[in-house]
Amino acid sequence: MKTDKLKENPGNFIRDFIVEDIAKNRIKEVVTRFPPEPNGYLHLGHAKSICLNFGIAADFNGRCHLRFDDTNPANEEIEFIDSIIEDVRWLGFEWGDNLHYASDYFETFYAWAEHLIETDNAYVDDLSADEIRKFRGTLTKPGQASPFRKRERKENLRLFRLMAKGEFGDGEKVLRAKIDMSSGNISMRDPVIYRILHAEHPRTGKTWCIYPTYDFAHGQSDAIEGVSHSLCTLEFEDHRPLYDWHIEKLPVPSVPRQYEFARLNMTYTVLSKRKLTLLVDEKHVGGWNDPRMPTIAGMRRRGVPAAAIRDFCARIGITKAASTAETSYLDYCIRESLNETAIRRMGVLDPLKVVIENYPSGKIEKLLAKNHPKDETRGNREIPFTRELFIERSDFMENPSNNFFRLGIGREVRLRFAYFITCTEVIKDVDGNIIELRCIYDKDTKGGNASDGRKVKGTIHWVSVNESLTAEVRLFDHLFKNQEPELSGDEFLKEINPNSLKILENCKLEPSLSKIKLNETVQFERQGYFCLDIDSTENNLVFNRTVGLRDTWTNQKTND
Ligand code: ATP
Ligand code: MG
């Protein structure tokens, strides 16, 4: 248990800060939060943040809140709230009573906005969004004050109240913090803190037509909830002075500290909600939970265990340096996890019929097979053996090369858990395609060992022709052709891999797979890990390949 915990929660610079804060008595309790905006499904980058926040809270006996930063009703939907709740829970984390919404604090935010006006720290601006942008200056050029910056306090208050009442249209006026238009930090050049948006909010309905900006709501929500360590990605580093400014100017009940870490990027995919939304909206994928998507819902549907995602997040760690993790490394973590937990089954993806001529027709022999090679507690199952079988087409070669140890004419191989067979004849159709193999079996090799001690080099998988299930199997490849589609900016859609989904129909599976549950991933021996897809019906089984067996990550590393 202890080592498990260590494996999932290795040290990092943020933990070091917390240890120091505790040692110096700066905080009483460690409180973190995961603060998604409900405008999309969670992805692997969010998983990194979830594991960090919930992991830290658990390690320091604190608590972690799940808080929806739902301040922008334009893009937010209940569907996203529900999916986020489901995904965080599925990842293995619990927030107890601490499910919060920034929208629960809208009254407080409003009062605090008035407080800023009353203390001459905020003003109503009539400039348009474009004008505000132009006046803001650049990294090398200071900003320019808005002509409305000098508005009287009273007038600001009156106008702000009218904004809240719905007297103005969207974008007609905004409330801005009065900080410093010549600050070297652009975030400090009088940021907008309230804007008019006549939109229905998923939770507050039509109560409000003005909404706080993320920058105004975020830190204050943390303060209201008593968050001690507000952990966010590096792009918010520049916002920290603003976050601290608000905390200083407002009568907040607690003072959180913000710490930044590098966001996760992955090869061959994108981890930006905006880009993932485009993939969904433009139907490049089947939805947010398409198994090719780097979303939690997509990975779950593909058969990835939550433990593998947690393990991956722990292994990549938390740093300040931006980096791109390799998708093959995630696959490696998935394989590591499933190798231990997944039961074994046999499935033939590209079937070739084998007739065992010296085996009685009509006979069905139940052969015992281990469910897991290393874990006896997983038990056994029976597999029906019959005269007609399917083997994998690629396990036969008419003219085998020297390093091919599987089936060929006159060659003997072991059928997994069954018998040795020798191929005697190849049957072809009129076009010369191989359609069937004739073989003989040795009845003294039952269970896979010859009584005379003779050895065979190859062991292949198989299923019975009549006693098998037919299924569709979906194989997935990277969603993008390019290793770093993020670098292509808005051109990223041009990098989509047109062959990211391959559908195999007519795959043959051992009959015990009819009992498999939706969220259980199994190993098809010698093939990879597979799970039943939600598209399955009683008459049409669909399996997803979670990941193949071949490890490209360690191979790549050792070849370097
Ligand atoms: P995106 O940039 O994809 O739109 P976001 O940051 O806007 O993502 P939020 O819902 O605001 O999405 O994110 C919730 C939390 O998850 C934030 O604290 C954010 O820092 C973190 N997060 C988002 N993307 C990543 C990532 N790629 N790596 C690590 N943390 C991330
Ligand atoms: Mg965000």
- Is 263 among the residues known to form the active site? yes
Read off the pLDDT of each residue in 40-57 and give the average, rounded to a whole number. 97
Read off the pLDDT of each residue in 532-547 and give the average, rounded to a whole number. 96
In the predicted model, what is the mean pLDDT of the chain?
Answer: 95
User: What are the distances in angstroms from CA 123 to CA 35, 169, 262, 282?
Assistant: 28, 18, 34, 41
Other C-beta atoms within 10 Å of 353: how many?
17
Of residues 1 and 458, more confidence is placed in 458
Q: Which of 12, 44, 46, 296 to mutate to test the pocket of ligand 1 (most atoms within 8 A of CB)?
A: 46
pLDDT at 5: 43
One-character DSSP codes across 67-117: EE----TTT--HHHHHHHHHHHHHTT---TT-EEEGGGGHHHHHHHHHHHH
pLDDT band at 551 (very low <50, low <70, confident <90, very high): confident
pLDDT band at 484 (very low <50, low <70, confident <90, very high): very high
In whole angstroms, give the CA distance from residue 436 to residue 205.
66
pLDDT band at 539 (very low <50, low <70, confident <90, very high): confident
Nearest CA to ligand 1 atom 2: 272
Least confident of 68-77, 127-136, 550-559: 550-559
Query: At CA 92, angle to CA 88 and CA 93, rounded to 5?
Result: 60
User: For 438-465, what is each residue's pLDDT tens digit?
Assistant: 999 999 999 999 989 899 999 999 999 9
Torsional sign, CA 290, 291, 294, 298: positive
Q: Which of 33, 44, 49, 65 to mutate to test the pocket of ligand 1 (most atoms within 8 A of CB)?
A: 49
Centre of ligand 1 to C-alpha 323, Å, is: 15
Q: Which of 42, 84, 213, 233 to mutate to test the pocket of ligand 1 (most atoms within 8 A of CB)?
A: 233
User: For 92-109, what is each residue's pLDDT tens digit?
Assistant: 999 999 999 999 999 999
One-character DSSP codes across 305-351: -HHHHHHHHHHH---SS-EEE-HHHHHHHHHHHHHHHPPEE-EESSE
Choose, from 263, 353, 370, 446, the residue flagged as catalytic: 263
Q: Of the candidates 233, 171, 180, 228, which has an alpha carbon nearest to the alpha carbon of residue 198?
A: 171
Q: Give 185: exposed, middle or buried? Use CB within 10 Å, 0-12, 13-18, 19+.
A: middle
Centre of ligand 2 to C-alpha 138, Å, is: 23
- Is 37 among the residues known to form the active site? yes
Are 409 and 423 contacting, i.e. CB atoms less than 8 angstroms apart? yes
**Any residues with Cβ below 6 Å from ligand 1, and which?**
35-37, 45-46, 48-49, 232-233, 263-264, 271-274
Nearest CA to ligand 1 atom 25: 45
Nearest CA to ligand 1 atom 18: 232
Choose, from 15, 151, 178, 273, the residue flagged as catalytic: 273
Are 74 and 41 contacting, i.e. CB atoms less than 8 angstroms apart? no
pLDDT at 538: 87
Centre of ligand 1 to C-alpha 536, Å, is: 33
Q: Of the candidates 488, 538, 535, which has an alpha carbon nearest to the alpha carbon of residue 514?
A: 538
**Where on the phi/psi map is residue 528: left (φ > 0), alpha (ψ -120 to 50), or beta?**
left
Strand partners, 556: none
Order of strands, sheet of 412-415, starting from the edge strand that comes earlier in the sequence: 459-460, 412-415, 420-428, 434-442, 351-356, 388-392, 462-464
Q: Of the candidates 543, 392, 550, which has an alpha carbon nearest to the alpha carbon of residue 474?
A: 543
Question: How many Cα atoms sit within 13 Å of 27 on the Cβ side?
Answer: 21
pLDDT band at 7 (very low <50, low <70, confident <90, very high): very low
Nearest CA to ligand 1 atom 23: 46
Q: Give 120: exposed, middle or buried? Use CB within 10 Å, 0-12, 13-18, 19+.
A: exposed
Question: How many Cα atoms sit within 13 Å of 434 on the Cβ side?
Answer: 21
Q: How far is CA 276 from the centre of its chain?
A: 12
